[in-house]
Structure 1
Amino acid sequence: MVILLLVVIGILLAIIVFQYLASRTRSGNIQQLQGKLKQVMEDQTGESLLLFTNDRELQSLLVEINQLLDYARKRAAAYEKTEMATKKMISNVSHDLRTPLTVILGYIETIHLDPLMSSQEREELLAKVYKKTLELLELIHKFFDLSKLESGDEQMPIERVHINEVCRQNILAFYEILTNKGFDVRVAIPDEAIFVLGNEAALNRMLNNLLSNAIQHGGDGKVIGLTLRTEKEFALIEILDHGKGISEQHQDRVFERLYTLEDSRNPTSPSSGLGLAITKRLARAIGGTVTLFSKPHEQTVFSIRLKRIQY
């Protein structure tokens, strides 16, 4: 009996010693992890935590910590990118608003400081002030529209749209201006009715933006085209020009907000860089896409892809 009791006591002591040693080992590992984690956080390195242990619970904890660190790094990178974009946006907004305001102020000062100005000259300057004020108001509206689209406040009810008619109306709105300026206008809209899922107001805005963009930045080629065609379950609208085009390094960025076209197509362009950003967000809001293909000095094509439906 005594021998059995001694054996039990020995086993219990062994268990206690084993647990003590395991506890010390785990405590040491946790302290090591704590030190490494503190160093990684202070130095902001891209390291992951490494620890050689057979403790499965510590292994699981280590995996979770590394996943959390990776998530934190991605969030920090995204925040930094957003902050840089915001700074650039504020700079561009300030520039885009300051320029017309400076011009307007100059016209008004001229009118105010020149009492001998003839009524005809005064009327001409007032007409210029009015025109610049309208440009400024349109720019402010674009900033507001983009803000609503990005925040999700803009309601875009999806409905059946007769896309042939939308295309005809939009190209007709520019047709007289284009022909008077000597453009070769190429239109290919099939007689067969094509219906898509979309929003007519959004589509009108998108086509207006793309046609205006083609005229402003691709007008040197004197060719503007609009093509409507089908591709399986989709309908495609293509706006083309034969102007200077967009170099490959800029093609992925022209849809970014406030990535001005001065950077990519026309250094003298007064573009705010908002039209294409609004177009892309409108396309996304109605379940479509807008893409770009450009071969400089040959052809630039913006394509809108929409879900086709049976009428």
Structure 2
Amino acid sequence: MVIFFLMVIIGLAALNFYQYNVRKNEKRNFTYIHRKLKQIIDNQTDEKLLVHTGDEELKQILIEINRLLEHNQKMMASYNKMEASMRKMLSNISHDLKTPLTVVLGYIEIVLNNPNRTNEETKELLQKVNVKTVEVLDLIKKFFDLARLESGDKDLPLTRVNMNEVCQKNILQFYEVLSAKGFDVVIELPETIQYALGNGEALDRVLNNLLSNAIQYGGEGKVLGLTLRSDEQYVFIDIWDKGKGISELHKDLVFERMYTLEDSRNKSYQGSGLGLTITKRLVEKMGGHIFLNSKPYEKTTFTVQVKRITY
């Protein structure tokens, strides 16, 4: 009997010792979790919680905490990227507004300070003022449109659109410009009419932006092409040229806000940097995608993909 009680006592002591160690380990783990979480949050690092434990419930909690940390880190990275982009955008907008406005003020001062100027000279200066004023208004309109698109405030009702007609109409609008610049124009439209789910006004703007971009930056190749094609699910519009193209370094950047080719602000690459960003947002608003493929001086192609409608 004494031996039995002794074994019971030893067993209870061992159980208590085990429970003590378990509680000690739990306390150590929770202390580590608390300190590590505080460190990660205070220092905004991308670390994760690593705890060796056999407690399945604690493991599940750690998995969810790490998921939350990863989500928070992605949000912070996205926020920092957006903040940097916004700072750059505001700086570039300030530059692009200041330049033409300074020119406008200069022309107006000339008119005001020289009353003896002839009517013809005054008219010429006022025409220049008009051009620069329109330039400023166009930039403000683009910025406003982009803000509406990114905030979800701009509604784009989607309907069945005749893509052959959209392509023909937009390429014809550039006929005189292309002829004057000596471009060879290659147009490939299927005989069968292709219908897609889209917005006619948005598609007009998308094509207008891409064709303008091809003329401005691909002009050295003196060739511009428009191809309409489709598969069972999608309709594709390719706008291509054989100009200097876009290097691998810039491919992922051309759709960013206020980004201009070669990230330059000089006159050789002058532009607001909003055109392609607006184009991408409009295409995505229609449930589509836009792709870029470029081999400098061989072929640079912007491809718009929208959902095909067969009825």
Unaligned runs of 5+ in 1: none
- 1:121 and 1:163, CA in 2 relative to 1: closer, same or farther beyond 3 A? same
- Paired with 2:107 and 2:100, the residues of 1 have a C-alpha distance of 11
- Paired with 1:20 and 1:113, the residues of 2 have a C-alpha distance of 93
User: RMSD of the TM alignment (CA)?
Assistant: 2.7
- 2:106 equivalent in structure 1: 106
Query: Could you say what secondary structure the match of 1:239 adopts?
Result: strand
State the shift of 1:133 in Å.
0.5
Would you say 1:189 and 2:189 are equivalent positions? yes
- 1:118 equivalent in structure 2: 118
Moved over 4 A (4+): 1-21, 264-267
After superposition, what is the alpha-carbon deviation per residue over 1:118-149, rounded to whole angstroms, capped at 9, x for unaligned? 22111111110011101111111111111111
Identify which range, 132-141 or 290-299, moves more after superposition.
Answer: 290-299
State the shift of 1:70 in Å.
2.3
- TM-score, normalised on structure 2? 0.89
Would you say 1:41 and 2:41 are equivalent positions? yes
- Paired with 2:32 and 2:288, the residues of 1 have a C-alpha distance of 52
- 1:245 and 1:2, CA in 2 relative to 1: closer, same or farther beyond 3 A? closer
After superposition, what is the alpha-carbon deviation per residue over 1:12-47, rounded to whole angstroms, capped at 9, x for unaligned? 777666545533442233223323333333444433
- 2:92 equivalent in structure 1: 92
- 1:205 equivalent in structure 2: 205
State the shift of 1:55 in Å.
3.2
Aligned pairs for 1:164-243 (under 5 A) are 164-243=164-243
Would you say 1:310 and 2:307 are equivalent positions? no
- Paired with 1:229 and 1:52, the residues of 2 have a C-alpha distance of 57
- TM-score, normalised on structure 1? 0.89
- 1:115 and 1:197, CA in 2 relative to 1: closer, same or farther beyond 3 A? same
Structure 1 contact 250–264 (Cα < 8 Å) conserved: no
Structure 1 contact 166–204 (Cα < 8 Å) conserved: yes
Identify which range, 66-75 or 192-201, moves more after superposition.
Answer: 66-75
Query: Could you say what secondary structure the match of 1:268 adopts?
Result: helix
- Paired with 2:267 and 2:134, the residues of 1 have a C-alpha distance of 23
Query: Could you say what secondary structure the match of 2:263 adopts?
Result: coil
Aligned pairs for 1:1-311 (under 5 A) are 19-263=19-263, 268-311=268-311
Number of residues paired by the alignment? 311
- 2:151 is aligned with what amino acid? S
Taking every aligned residue pair, what percent have the same amino acid on both sides? Answer: 54
State the shift of 1:176 in Å.
1.9
- Paired with 1:9 and 1:134, the residues of 2 have a C-alpha distance of 95
State the shift of 1:262 in Å.
4.6
Structure 1 contact 262–271 (Cα < 8 Å) conserved: no
- 2:38 is aligned with what amino acid? K
Identify which range, 277-286 or 32-41, moves more after superposition.
Answer: 32-41
- 1:237 is aligned with what amino acid? I
Query: Could you say what secondary structure the match of 1:187 adopts?
Result: strand
- 1:43 and 1:226, CA in 2 relative to 1: closer, same or farther beyond 3 A? closer
Structure 2 contact 100–132 (Cα < 8 Å) conserved: yes
